[in-house]
Each structure stands twice: as structure tokens, then as C-alpha cells.
């Protein structure tokens, strides 16, 4: 017996009930509100593990795009014209350069992808004499947002403003650092677009009646933030991973959409060793002594 919903839809478009039942019946059962799925990101050591996670969650017929910019660095402090801090920062950059080059090489060999395990392994094998990891201070944060619509009318492909805002809020909450957020080199606008878009265009006469679309996007931003402080020179290595997807089904102008965005932020702090900091002790002591003598002179 034909699905009543399919029969009703078929009568609207003048199509054969039996022919429409197989297509529209299945699609219409997807319409309506549904509970949020119990999905979370898994540890990933390879790019293919991300792909497998997406296909398991969305389906094998999903189209996947990627955004893997090379590792980048930025300064986490405003050091102005302070020569000593500039010297420390330059020395920190020089101390990290071998590791940064090694990460970029690995990314180039893997299509831009690098796992958290491989990222930290590079830093901890290349700069052991200059810095050490503070594994006990590791930070990991996971957040997600989900959109599951009921049946709605859509005549264009304009994104949902509320959904776009939800995707941005999810990413910012995961990173939880304004400086890092501003320095990200992944395309956050594209991520918001994948999550927020809705409305599937009609490409031919057949797709007027029933059509569907599944898209997913993987973005991984890897960076280093430097803090060239005299008392505690350190830097932080982070990896921000985002997987966003959208699955949409439509018959005529009636649409139903599911979209998810899943974010993971991981960070490890590296402090400069005593062998590094003692290179600047003499210069710092000389400046303190000079300033101390100047201040004391006002009291004599």
C-alpha cells in the first residue's frame, strides 16, 4: 500500500502514486523534528579516520571538502619596543624553527593533515634542549551544535542567520581565546556557510519533485602562540579541528534539514629551559640595576 504522505504529494504534482511512493515515502519520513544524535568527535591519527567518522554519521554519499592551512605563528603579548623582550622572542622563534619546518614538511606530505600526536611529537623531538612540554597543563575542549528542522518552505538558497550565528558561537566557545580566534587561518566563514545554508536548487525537471544533498567539511588549524616573558618565557602549540556537515531533502519547495558542527581544541604549553633563559639573565640584571640606581637617586 502506498504511503499516504507520498500519495498526497503525488496528487499535488500529478505523478503516478506507485512511482512516487518509493522516493517520496522515504523522504517524507525524514521530515519533522528529531532528537539530537549522540555523536562526538573521536581521536584522529589519520585523515581517513575523519572521513570514516563523517560517512558513519551522515552516509557514504556525502561530498567532503577540506581546509588544512600550514602551521603558523603569532605573538601572544604586546612587547612594544622593549629590546630585551624582542631579543627573547627572536631567540624563541629561532629555537622553534626546526620543529615548525618539520611540521610543515609533514603537512605537505599528507595533503595538509597532521594529527595532534604527530604535531606534539615533532616539537618534543626537535627542541628538547631549549624547551620542555608541560603535559600536566594540557587543555582539551569539545563543543558541538546541532540543527534539526521540521518541514519548511524554501524558495532560495539563502543561509539561516540563526544557524550561522550558532556555528560561530560553537567555534568561539571551543577555542575560548580571542587572540587565537583572530589568528585562525582556516576559513571560518565557509564553515558557517556549510552549517547555515538551506534550500536545494532544482537542476532539472526530475529534481523538481524530489532531491537531496549531503555535504561535509573538515578544517584543521595548527598554530603556535609565543609569550616572550622574562620570568616565564613559553609558547603554546594548539590544534583546532572542526567537522561540519549538512544533510537536506526537498520535494518541490518543501524542505527538511539536519546539520551538525563538532569542534575540538587541544593545546600544550612549552616552557623554555634554564639553558635558554640564562642567556638573557645578565642583560636583564644590568637593566634592573640601572633602573634601581635611578629610582634610589630620587630619595637621596
Segment 196-229, tens digit of pLDDT: 886 655 444 444 454 677 899 999 999 999 999 8
Which pTM was predicted?
Answer: 0.77
**Which of 234, 192, 220, 27 shows the shortest CA–CA distance to 110?**
220
Q: Are 209 and 252 in contact (CB under 8 A)?
A: yes
Q: Give residues with Cβ within 8 angstroms of 278, minimum separation 6.
A: none
Q: Per-residue pLDDT for 266 more than 70?
A: yes
Q: How far apart are CA 193 and CA 65, in angstroms?
A: 13
Q: How large is the average pLDDT for residues 137-158? A: 75
Tens of pLDDT, residue by residue over 22-57, are 333 333 333 333 444 556 688 899 999 999 999 998
Q: Are 174 and 263 in contact (CB under 8 A)?
A: yes
Q: How far apart are CA 156 and CA 140, in angstroms?
A: 39
* Residue 32 forms part of a structural domain: no
615533532: which residue's cell?
A: 122
Q: How far apart are CA 18 and CA 20, in angstroms?
A: 5
Q: Are 88 and 44 in contact (CB under 8 A)?
A: no
564553515: which residue's cell?
A: 191
* Residue 283 forms part of a structural domain: yes
* Residue 112 forms part of a structural domain: yes
Cα angle at 229 between 77 and 99, to 5 degrees?
85
SS3 of 173, please? helix
* Residue 152 forms part of a structural domain: yes
**Which of 135, 164, 175, 188 shows the shortest CA–CA distance to 259?**
164
Mean pLDDT computed over every residue of the chain: 78
572542526: which residue's cell?
A: 242
Domains held by the chain: number:
1
**Which of 146, 110, 169 shows the shortest CA–CA distance to 244?**
146
Q: Per-residue pLDDT for 235 more than 60?
A: yes
* Residue 198 forms part of a structural domain: yes
* Residue 33 forms part of a structural domain: no
Q: How large is the average pLDDT for residues 170-184? A: 96
Q: In which domain, by residue range, is 111 found? A: 44-297
* Residue 5 forms part of a structural domain: no
Q: Give residues with Cβ within 8 angstroms of 256, minimum separation 6.
A: 27, 30, 31, 32, 149, 150, 151, 152, 248, 249, 250
Q: How far is CA 8 from CA 13, 17, 248, in A?
A: 9, 9, 21
**Strand ranges, E, within the chain:** 63-67, 72-75, 131-133, 139-148, 152-153, 211-227, 234-251, 254-272
The count of C-alpha atoms lying within 13 angstroms of the C-alpha of 123, restricted to the half-sphere facing its C-beta, is 29
Q: How far apart are CA 230 and CA 94, in angstroms?
A: 17
Which pLDDT belongs to residue 282?
61
* Residue 177 forms part of a structural domain: yes
Amino acid at each position: 500500500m502506498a504511503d499516504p504522505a507520498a500519495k498526497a504529494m503525488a496528487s499535488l504534482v500529478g505523478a503516478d502514486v506507485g512511482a512516487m511512493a518509493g522516493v517520496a515515502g522515504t523522504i517524507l519520513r525524514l521530515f519533522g523534528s528529531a532528537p539530537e544524535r549522540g555523536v562526538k568527535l573521536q581521536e584522529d591519527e589519520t585523515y581517513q579516520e575523519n572521513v570514516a567518522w563523517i560517512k558513519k554519521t551522515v552516509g557514504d554519499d556525502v561530498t567532503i571538502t577540506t581546509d588544512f592551512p600550514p602551521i603558523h605563528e603569532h605573538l601572544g603579548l604586546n612587547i612594544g619596543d622593549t629590546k630585551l623582550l624582542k631579543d627573547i622572542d627572536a631567540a624563541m622563534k629561532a629555537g622553534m624553527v626546526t620543529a615548525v619546518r618539520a611540521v610543515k614538511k609533514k603537512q605537505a606530505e599528507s595533503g595538509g593533515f597532521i594529527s595532534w600526536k604527530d604535531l606534539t611529537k615533532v616539537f618534543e623531538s626537535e627542541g628538547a634542549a631549549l624547551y620542555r612540554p608541560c603535559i600536566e597543563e594540557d587543555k582539551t575542549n569539545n563543543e558541538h551544535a546541532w540543527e534539526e528542522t521540521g518541514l519548511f518552505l524554501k524558495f532560495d538558497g539563502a543561509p539561516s542567520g540563526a544557524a550561522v550565528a550558532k556555528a560561530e558561537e560553537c567555534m568561539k566557545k571551543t577555542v575560548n581565546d580571542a587572540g587565537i580566534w583572530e589568528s585562525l587561518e582556516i576559513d571560518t566563514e565557509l564553515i558557517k556557510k556549510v552549517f547555515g545554508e538551506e534550500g536545494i536548487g532544482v537542476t532539472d525537471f526530475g529534481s523538481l519533485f524530489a532531491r537531496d544533498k549531503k555535504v561535509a567539511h573538515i578544517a584543521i588549524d595548527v598554530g603556535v602562540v609565543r609569550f616572550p616573558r622574562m620570568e616565564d618565557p613559553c609558547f603554546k602549540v594548539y590544534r583546532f579541528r572542526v567537522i561540519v556537515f549538512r544533510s537536506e531533502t526537498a520535494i518541490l519547495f518543501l524542505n527538511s534539514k539536519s546539520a551538525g558542527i563538532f569542534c575540538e581544541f587541544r593545546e600544550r604549553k612549552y616552557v623554555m629551559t634554564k639553558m635558554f633563559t640564562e642567556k638573557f639573565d645578565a642583560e636583564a640584571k644590568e637593566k634592573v640595576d640601572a633602573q634601581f640606581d635611578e629610582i634610589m637617586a630620587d630619595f637621596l
